Amino acid sequence: MSYKRNRLPTGYWKNPVNFIACGFGTGASPYAPGTIGTLIGVLIYLLIFSFNIYVYIALLVVFTLAGIWICGYAANNFGVHDHGGIVWDEVVGYLIGMIAIPFEWWWVITGFFIFRFFDIIKPYPIQMIDKKVHGGLGIMLDDVLAGIYTLICMHLLLWLVQ
């Protein structure tokens, strides 16, 4: 993605919803904003991994439902369905992939790469949903599914190494 196509509209920083949608500024990266934005997911994971599983999942539900609105709002402001700078969906997708994964750097890094793989490759039905579902729900849904694929892979790996 070229820098011009990912350039955020002037003044987007002034709106706190846009700022959150763009991963607290990481979506402004001229190169691989989704990958850079996923790092915010890693940081949030580091803050919440020790929470009770029910609290972790409750936070994910809040992040996801709020993300539908946040991403839709920012997309409307930017005038683009799924602007490359909108990365809150990557944050949530990564966190889904890390549900009930033990905290060790190996797992944190593995989850990052597996999530990025699914988010970039968009296997069935992710690519279809990405093209057919619009608005905030569409922006979030493909990353939620990539997160679920990541979650399955992570738990299979966890099962294999234990």
Q: Is the pLDDT of residue 107 over 70?
A: yes
Cα-to-chain-centroid distance, residue 126:
14
Using only C-alpha atoms, the chain has a radius of gyration, in whole angstroms, of 15
Question: Which residues span the domain enclosing 149?
Answer: 3-161
Question: Of 17, 25, 31, 39, which Cα lies nearest the Cα of 136?
Answer: 17
* Cβ proximity of 16 and 74 under 8 Å: no
Q: Which tens digits make up the pLDDT trace of 137-156?
A: 999 999 999 999 999 999 99
Q: Is the pLDDT of residue 81 over 90?
A: no
Q: Is the pLDDT of residue 4 over 50?
A: no
CA distance 20 to 148: 22
Tell me the percentage of the chain whose pLDDT exceeds 90: 80
pLDDT at 46: 97
Q: Which tens digits make up the pLDDT trace of 17-71?
A: 999 999 998 998 889 999 999 999 999 999 999 999 999 999 999 999 999 999 9
The structural domain count of the chain equals 1
- Name the token pair of 162: 């234990």
Q: What is the mean pLDDT of residues 4-13?
A: 66
